[in-house]
Amino acid sequence: MSKAIYFDIDRCIGCFACQSACKQENDLAPHTLEEALSQTAPIWRRVMEVEQGDYGQETVSYISLSCMHCADAPCVIACPTGALSRDKESGRVVVNESKCIGCKMCLQACPFGIPQYGKDDLMQKCNLCLDRLQDGEAEPACVASCPAKALRYGDTAELSKKEQTKVAARLVLATGNKYSAGI
Amino acid sequence: MPKNEKICIIGNGGAAVEAVKALRENQYEGEIHLVSDSAQPAYNPMLTTYYVSGKIEFEAMFPYGCNMDLYEQYDVTLHLGSPVAGLDTKTKTVSTASGAVYPYDKCLVATGASPFLPPIEGMDRERVYTMRTVEDAQKLKKALEKKPGKALVIGASMVGIKVVELLYDAGAEVCLADMAPCLFPLAAHQECACVIENRLTDKGIRLRFGAGIEKILETDGKLSGCFSDGKPPEETDLIAVCIGVRPNLGFIDREQIEIDRGILVDDHMRTSETDVYAAGDVAQGMNLLTGKKQIIGLWPNARYQGRTAGRNMAGAEDVYSGAIPHNITHFMHMVFSGFGDLTSGTRTETEERNGGYVQRAWNGSNLVGVNMLDSSCAQIGIIKSAVEKGLRTGTPAEFEQLCSMKLRDKLLLEHFKKA
């Protein structure tokens, strides 16, 4: 069954626990401000602060972002060596470092700016905690660390069914039919 | 689709293999015949320079595997080592130079492209190399064993610069020449090109721009390249010609199939002739930025086109609306990336910060081209995807947003708030 991480923007409180847990789990060095600005220190999950609205009415949102493991991933098509592939069973987009030549074609293909390059110049990114889950853990490190349950891990079909139900309920509420929403 | 149908694929590159995969994955059960002059499994021309420089092994040039397992898995009847001589849409047959004739119900032309060699004296000399095929790579790799002292690369293209790099790493004194006045004439703005040129000069690469090659002479074991500017010829031990490629369509009857520079295709990868499709470097599909048809010879574009052709041939409708020309290349400790056409804008702007360099070209409020260097390239995918999406959906990203990280934020907000 294809699995995925769902991110709920309404629940994220911007505590950066997922970012830290990801670095710890995947042995990624903490980065300095300079490294963060020039994106020279690899980071697999990043929390970003997004402000919007005018003065006096601005709102701040947080977005926790890592590889989306796209169903039809543009990086997989762009990769010239076949180093990137998507496992249909698990839904993981993974990079085979022994095949990667560091050409950065994936960087130009990814709409989310996910691919990272380490000191060896090879591409690295989130692998949905492959090792951790093989060791018997139930969830990726970022999901397990989230105190607000903004990150959820599970079967793709089930995750989207849950969200669909929520959206449907919201629609019903918005149209005023409070009794048939069942919540 | 009836089981007794026959599909003939001409060519054996990324587009051809993606078509094969798409056919079988969409329940096509008929015969697939693959005819190609190449006798090897599908390779990626872009990897040849990596092999010559020793960064990858020979086997790694074949992204689908260095054996015929894939073709067996997808039940493909191979006719390799047999160059195609003709395609007749009236009799629906493909004929090879050796006289074999293969009938088809649907045909995909995915013959790719070959290096362009200007018709000048001396182009056929022994130490004049091109860089496209596996054989080209093997020849150049062998030449490097002789430790050439001086090398001349003609063509300041994406391939050209990688050949410069590998010759430089092999210890040769390298000269890079082009008829254009600057580096990457198709991809870079003159200003950005100038930044890169200065860095190349600092590393000891000699540049000879603004003059075309006129003839290649050989005297006392030395090659010399004579240029149109009348300046002293370039004495060298080895010449690599990387001027560009031309589509392989010599066997196509122009009366039967519409051709401009390549074979014209629609968003289903159909040619002007029913039941004939084209994909990859031989096909001229849509450039989303200009709205005109153009050959965009890129690995991902070839794969998308091949996949789309395969799906449609299998009866599963699929549309590939087009691409925008783009490039990313890393060489000599720098990264250059870009998309679009910097010369088509009405104004350009430059931004330098954190060791990065960005140049954008605007046509009104539409972004028509971007050049990026080094750390700035981290954003290229986000911007390229936003522009592409805007062009596909008819809602161009706004000017202000394309200038900053606001773009990323806005896209992400949209993505996560769509429920």
Question: Tokens representing B232?
Answer: 């002293």
Partner B contacted by A12 (CB < 8 A): no
What is residue B26's predicted lDDT score, i.e. its pLDDT?
96
What is residue B68's predicted lDDT score, i.e. its pLDDT?
96
Q: Which domains does chain A have, with CATH numbers?
A: 1-66+126-155 (3.30.70.20), 67-124 (3.30.70.20)
Q: Output the CA–CA distances (angstroms, integers) from residue B32 to A141, B18, B71, B82, B330, in the order listed.
A: 46, 13, 10, 16, 38
Say how far apart CA B137 and CA B134 lie, in whole Å. Answer: 5
Residue B402 carries which side chain, given as an amino acid letter?
L
- Residue numbers in A near B409 (CB within 8 A): 48, 50, 52, 63
> pLDDT band at A39, cuts 50/70/90?
low
Q: What is the pLDDT of residues A133-176, one digit of tens each?
A: 999 999 999 999 999 999 999 999 999 999 899 888 888 888 87
**A108/B47 CB distance under 8 A:** no
ipTM of the complex model: 0.93
**Who among A48, A81, A103 is closest to B63 (CB)?**
A81
**A38/B417 CB distance under 8 A:** no
What is residue A118's predicted lDDT score, i.e. its pLDDT?
87
What is residue B283's predicted lDDT score, i.e. its pLDDT?
98
- Residue numbers in A near B408 (CB within 8 A): 48, 113
SS (H, E, C) chain A: CCEEEEECCCCCCCCCHHHHHHHHHCCCCCCCHHHHHHCCCCCCCEEEEEEECCCCCCEEEEEEECCCCCCCCHHHHHCCCCCEEECCCCCCEEECCCCCCCCCHHHHHCCCCCCEECCCCCEECCCCCHHHHHCCCCCCHHHHHCCCCCEEEEEHHHHHHHHHHHHHHHHHHHCCCCCCCCC
Tens of pLDDT, residue by residue, chain B (419 residues): 556 789 999 999 999 999 999 999 999 999 999 999 999 999 999 999 999 999 999 999 999 999 999 999 999 999 999 999 999 999 999 999 999 999 999 999 999 999 999 999 999 999 999 999 999 999 999 999 999 999 999 999 999 999 999 999 999 999 999 999 999 999 999 999 999 999 999 999 999 999 999 999 999 889 999 999 999 999 999 999 999 999 999 999 999 999 999 999 999 999 999 999 999 999 999 999 999 999 999 999 999 999 999 999 999 999 999 999 999 999 999 999 999 999 888 999 898 876 789 999 988 888 899 999 988 888 899 999 989 988 988 887 776 667 666 777 777 787 777 54
- Residue numbers in B near A99 (CB within 8 A): 60
Chain B residue at shortest CA distance from A75: B300
What is residue B397's predicted lDDT score, i.e. its pLDDT?
72
Q: Residue B56, Cβ neighbours under 10 Å: how many?
A: 17
Interface test with A, best of B415, B417, B418 (most A CBs within 10 A): B415
Our CA-based measurement puts residue B365 at a distance from the nearest CA of chain A, in whole angstroms, of: 21
Say how far apart CA B2 and CA B140 lie, in whole Å. Answer: 47
- Is the pLDDT at A182 greater than 70? The verdict is no
- Residue numbers in A near B386 (CB within 8 A): 111
What is residue B3's predicted lDDT score, i.e. its pLDDT?
67
Long-range contacts of B359-366 (CB under 8 A, 24+ apart): B359/B189, B359/B191, B359/B192, B360/B402, B360/B403, B361/B189, B362/B399, B365/B396, B365/B398, B365/B399, B366/B396
- Residue numbers in B near A78 (CB within 8 A): 299-300
Chain B residue at shortest CA distance from A42: B378
**B412/A48 CB distance under 8 A:** yes
What is residue A166's predicted lDDT score, i.e. its pLDDT?
87
Our CA-based measurement puts residue B85 at a distance from the nearest CA of chain A, in whole angstroms, of: 30
- Residue numbers in B near A79 (CB within 8 A): 63
**A112/B412 CB distance under 8 A:** yes
**B382/A102 CB distance under 8 A:** no
Our CA-based measurement puts residue B194 at a distance from the nearest CA of chain A, in whole angstroms, of: 23
> pLDDT band at A84, cuts 50/70/90?
very high
Chain A residue at shortest CA distance from B307: A77
What is residue B113's predicted lDDT score, i.e. its pLDDT?
97
Lookup result for tokens 């669909």:
A164
Say how far apart CA B83 and CA B93 lie, in whole Å. Answer: 14
Q: Which residues from B are below 8 Å from A when comparing CB atoms?
A: 44, 46-47, 50, 55-56, 60, 63-64, 299-300, 303-304, 326-330, 335, 337, 339, 354-356, 375, 377-382, 384-386, 389, 408-409, 411-413, 416-417, 419
Question: Tokens representing A155?
Answer: 């079967």
Q: What is the pLDDT of residues A92-130, one digit of tens each?
A: 999 999 999 999 999 999 999 999 998 888 999 999 999
Question: Tokens representing A48?
Answer: 């970003």
What is residue A52's predicted lDDT score, i.e. its pLDDT?
83
